[in-house]
Amino acid sequence: MTPLRIAAEGLCSALGYTLPRTAAAIRSRLNLFRETHFVGLGGKPVVGALLHGLNIWGGQRQAALLRMSFEEVWARAATSEGAALSPDSTALLLLLPPAGQHAVPLNELHEAFRALTDGHGLHPASGAMHAGRGGVAAGIQRAAQWLAKDAASTAARDGGTAVRHVIVLASDSLLTAPTVERLLAQRRLAEDQHTDALLPGEAAAAVMLTRTAAPTAGPEVWITGAAHGLDDWRPGADAPMRAQALTAVLRDAARQSGAGVADAEFHASGMNGEHWMAREIELALSRAMERRRADFPHHRIAQFIGDAGTAGAVATLAWITHEMRVASDAARAGTARIGRTGLLHFSEDDGQRSALMLRAPGVAHATA
């Protein structure tokens, strides 16, 4: 794929309503897991990462998070992109949970989506897709298509303006009554003496993508590979896990970047505490890596903000990008906390698998 620059990012989570606050809390190894008003099977409250101070519930709550994340990424892009940013050449791509997932407030999310596109005068190509965290690479691929150089015909059809920026946005929550009931019935929520489980959370996150170099000399992060696949295996299946799809997308994302899987300095995933995810990652990396690594740091945002479903994948991308920007500056002082080449990968219950390769300044431009 032609590399895409991440022009701006935003994140709203239980650790903070903005990305810098969330990132600062994560760097301090903090979380805000606490008892919620939901009751578990043993009669004890369900523990999760719930945003406090936001007294809106149901679908309106997720819509509110969506708007906050959008406003943050737009404000940050207005500063970094300057005159290069224009609403009529910016498209919005809303990533929704998988189509078969119940209790998703589609009406409220679509309403918020229309309010954002109409209120800001965004490009008519804007749209939504059911992706889930495992489909985030498919969303990146769709954004790349919108930004393609041969978009002249699309621009003419959609109003005469080519798409120059795409905002990929997601808002999701596992802390809703129907979702909690389903996860409790499936024995997937963390409780006493049950650690092969997840801690539910909620979040909204956004990244703005473009094909052009930054108008300023600030730190840049590029997506140089995006691969999406589908695995036949499902959690709880009697058949053994083979991690074939995740292995394939890891290799494909690295190949698109002109590198190997083992060339990444670190990896980050949507692993939420369930054993099957950890096992799949172990299998996939053991097969995909071209050589042994003495150390391969693994970053997981779910251990700080909980499992936020589809938003968790975009949140990982936004958070890692933010840290790579910080590392670009810190490297000059010898205080870098994260590498300049990262491999992100995500798995969804429905079999979708995604992998993204990220590169920071000096690395991405060689590929671009």
pLDDT tens, position by position, for the chain (368 residues)?
899 999 999 999 999 999 999 999 999 999 999 999 999 888 899 999 999 889 999 899 999 999 999 999 999 999 999 999 999 999 999 999 999 887 789 999 999 999 999 999 999 999 999 999 999 999 999 999 999 965 555 555 555 789 999 999 999 999 999 999 999 999 999 887 788 899 999 999 999 999 999 988 788 999 999 999 999 999 988 899 999 999 999 999 999 999 999 999 999 999 999 999 999 999 999 999 999 988 999 999 999 999 999 999 999 999 999 999 987 655 444 444 688 999 999 999 999 999 999 999 753 333 22
- The DSSP-derived string for 261-303 is GGG-SEEEE---S-HHHHHHHHHHHHHH-SS--S---EEETHH
Q: Is residue 75 situated within a structural domain?
A: yes
184 with 250, same domain: the answer is no
In a domain, 18, yes or no: yes
Q: Are residues 194 and 229 in the same domain?
A: no
159 sits in which H/E element: none
Cβ(318)–Cβ(223) under 8 Å?
no
Same domain, 244 and 206: no
Q: How many residues does the chain have?
A: 368
Same domain for 256 and 188? no
Nearest residue to 279 (alpha-carbon basis) of 228, 238, 243: 243
pLDDT of residue 363: 36
Among 147, 178, 210, the domain-final residue is 210
pLDDT at 156: 55
Q: How far apart are CA 176 and CA 50, in angstroms?
A: 10
- Taking each helix axis as running N to C, give the angle between helix 310-330 and helix 19-27, from 0 to 180 degrees, rounded to the nearest 10: 70
Are residues 202 and 288 both part of a single domain?
no
201 in Cβ contact with 48 (< 8 Å): yes
226 and 206 part of one domain: no
Residue at a domain's end among 148, 178, 210: 210
Whether 19 is in a domain gets the answer: yes
Instruction: Please identify, among 210, 231, 250, the residue that sits at the C-terminal boundary of a domain.
Output: 210
Say if CB 310 and CB 172 are below 8 A apart: yes
- Please, are residues 262 and 290 in contact by the beta-carbon 8 Å criterion? yes
Dmax (CA) of the chain: 60
Same domain, 175 and 270: no
Tokens matching residue 323: 């840290």
Q: Based on the fold, state whether residues 163 and 116 are members of the same structural domain.
A: yes
Does residue 215 form part of some domain? Answer: no
Cα separation, 144 vs 165, in Å, equals 10
Residue 216 lies inside a defined structural domain of this protein: no
* Number of separate domains in the chain: 2
Question: DSSP characters for 133-145?
Answer: GGGHHHHHHHHHH
- The CATH number of the domain holding residue 177 is 3.40.47.10
Q: Do residue 206 and residue 227 come from a single domain?
A: no
If you ran DSSP here, which 8-state letter would residue 251 be given?
Answer: H
102 and 240 inside one domain: no
pLDDT of residue 152: 52
Say yes or no: 294 and 353 in one domain. Answer: yes
The kind and range of the H/E element at 363 are: none
Measured distance CA(180)–CA(188) in Å, rounded: 9
Structural domain range at position 267: 222-367
91 in a structural domain? yes
pLDDT score recorded for residue 195:
81
Phi, psi (5° rounding) for residue 200?
A: -70, 150
Q: CA-CA distance, 222 to 91, in Å (whole number)?
A: 19
342 and 277 together in one domain: yes
In DSSP notation, 161-198 reads ----EEEEEEEEES-SHHHHHHHHHTT-B-BTTB-SSB
Going through the chain in order, the beta strands assigned E by DSSP cover 4-12, 34-39, 45-48, 90-96, 127-130, 165-173, 202-210, 222-230, 266-269, 298-300, 341-347, 352-359
CA-nearest of 165, 207, 224 to 361 is: 224
pLDDT of res. 334 = 42
d(CA 193, CA 40): 13
Cα separation values, 349 from 12, 180, 345, Å: 24, 16, 14
